[in-house]
Amino acid sequence: VKAIKVKAIRGEKGSMRYVSIDKIKVGSIIADDILNEGGSLLLKKESQFKEAYRKKLKELGITYVLIDDEISKGITPTRLLTPVQRQALEEDIKNEFETLINRMEVDYTSMRAITSVITEKIKSVEAFYEMVDLKLNDQDTYAHCISVAIMAGFACRRLYLNEEITEKVVMGALFHDIGKTIIPKDILNKPSQLTKEEFDIIKTHPELGYEMIKEYNEFPPLSKVIVLCHHEREDGSGYPLGKGAEVHLGVKIVAACDVFHALLSDRPYRQGLSIEEVIEIARKEKLNQEVVSAIEATLVKYPVGSIVELSNGEIGIVKENFYQDLERPEVRIIFSNGKYKMGHRVNLQEEKEIYIAKNLDYIPEVDE
Ligand SMILES: [Fe+2]
């Protein structure tokens, strides 16, 4: 059996694949700029990965890196937002939050501009191709709100809500946790179990948020209701009002996206859960199950650039996703019959007897 020697090459422009920070090899070529929270450049694209970077990047909450190598040749992940766009969006929403906290005049034009960055992006891509766009390693309320807004937008489209309603839902999602910005950070980010009193304080955030926005007439009523009711549940067990299933569909969408994103994200006391695990939990929660299915249908488990093992034992890299069935992408084989072998493609849309057995985080190593 031959050893896998994947050459680190500077391939075609835009060729890249995901490698988890734990598995990336020293000498790998970074395929895209890596930015820190403040938007400044940490690692320039085309630079070589060094062992010393690993710990540093992990500390900064970076879990995946895009690399360029032989395997990624011709693979171009579809990305909703570039790191720079994501950064700009975060800055904008942070400014809006601060304006609201300080009770200054709200600039509705810029609020709408932020919303339309997301709604326009959603129109331009077919499905939710980018788990990395969700930013699963950030404790910041605004980063969470942006991710939930993106998910909510996709769910709206999947549920055939019109543009006008989608915009209001996305806007509500962008601000849904604004009340958390005035909850003490030591309670919000407490790594251990919360006491009953602490949890009661956290539970005030929907009402606090609603208080902050309710007097602004330009803010759509549906968006306001989303801020107030995003912790309500179908059976009336939620808070603050104990409303049940009668709330607007848009509220249910944001409530479910909030749960999905929270479970997918890393927390100080646990790693983020897999999509499969999250769906299993969401099925048992008192969320609207039609909405849960819609979200499930927009999450790409095997995005372009990820390594998967097929039911026939072959291993390959995902080349293309198909919106009609995200479970069955086209895969370019890199490992077959215990050997490293680049080449043939398996389109799971056509080869119905083969399916994806698991998502791999690595390329298997074999001895020479
Ligand atoms: Fe919340």
**DSSP state string for 53-66:** HHHHHHHTT--EEE
How close is the Cα of 179 to the center of ligand 1, in Å? 8
Residue, of 5 and 180, whose pLDDT is higher: 180
Confirm if 108 and 116 have CB atoms less than 8 A apart. no
According to DSSP, the β-strands at 330-336 and 17-20 are unpaired
How close is the Cα of 194 to the center of ligand 1, in Å? 16
| Residue type present at position 334 | I
How close is the Cα of 211 to the center of ligand 1, in Å? 14
Lowest-confidence pick of 26-30, 56-60, 266-270, 324-328: 266-270
pLDDT of residue 10: 42
Confirm if 248 and 163 have CB atoms less than 8 A apart. no
pLDDT of residue 35: 76
Cα separation, 23 vs 29, whole angstroms: 14
How close is the Cα of 254 to the center of ligand 1, in Å? 10
How close is the Cα of 206 to the center of ligand 1, in Å? 6
Best-predicted range by mean pLDDT (39-43, 61-65, 223-227, 359-363): 223-227
Supply the mean pLDDT for the chain. Answer: 85
For the cut 80, the answer to whether the pLDDT of residue 1 exceeds it is no
- Which residues are known to be catalytic? 180
For the cut 70, the answer to whether the pLDDT of residue 314 exceeds it is yes
Best-predicted range by mean pLDDT (174-183, 188-197, 211-220, 223-232): 223-232
How close is the Cα of 16 to the center of ligand 1, in Å? 35
For the cut 70, the answer to whether the pLDDT of residue 3 exceeds it is no
pLDDT of residue 151: 92
Cα separation, 117 vs 43, whole angstroms: 26
How close is the Cα of 281 to the center of ligand 1, in Å? 18
Lowest-confidence pick of 139-143, 159-163, 223-227, 303-307: 139-143
Q: Tens digit of pLDDT for each residue in 235-286?
A: 999 999 999 889 999 999 999 999 999 998 877 777 788 888 999 999 999 9
DSSP helix/strand/coil, 23:
coil
Residue 6's pLDDT band, with cuts at 50, 70 and 90, is: very low
For the cut 60, the answer to whether the pLDDT of residue 12 exceeds it is no
pLDDT of residue 86: 77
Lowest-confidence pick of 76-85, 97-106, 249-258, 271-280: 76-85
Give buried/exposed letters for 133-155 (b at 16+ CB in 10 A, else e): bbbbbbeebbbbbbbbbbbbbbb
For the cut 60, the answer to whether the pLDDT of residue 7 exceeds it is no
Residue 13's pLDDT band, with cuts at 50, 70 and 90, is: low
Lowest-confidence pick of 309-313, 319-323, 358-362: 358-362
Lowest-confidence pick of 105-109, 125-129, 337-341: 125-129
How close is the Cα of 145 to the center of ligand 1, in Å? 9
What percent of the chain has pLDDT above 90? 42
For the cut 90, the answer to whether the pLDDT of residue 229 exceeds it is yes
How close is the Cα of 218 to the center of ligand 1, in Å? 22
How close is the Cα of 182 to the center of ligand 1, in Å? 13
For the cut 90, the answer to whether the pLDDT of residue 295 exceeds it is yes
Give the helix/strand (H/E) hosting 119.
helix 108-124
Evaluate if pTM is beyond 0.95.
Answer: no
How close is the Cα of 293 to the center of ligand 1, in Å? 21
| Residue type present at position 113 | A
Confirm if 229 and 175 have CB atoms less than 8 A apart. no
pLDDT of residue 330: 94
For the cut 50, the answer to whether the pLDDT of residue 367 exceeds it is no
- Tokens representing residue 29 in the block: 């070529």
How close is the Cα of 129 to the center of ligand 1, in Å? 25
Residue 221's pLDDT band, with cuts at 50, 70 and 90, is: very high
How close is the Cα of 160 to the center of ligand 1, in Å? 25
What percent of the chain has pLDDT above 70? 88
Mean pLDDT of 224-237: 96
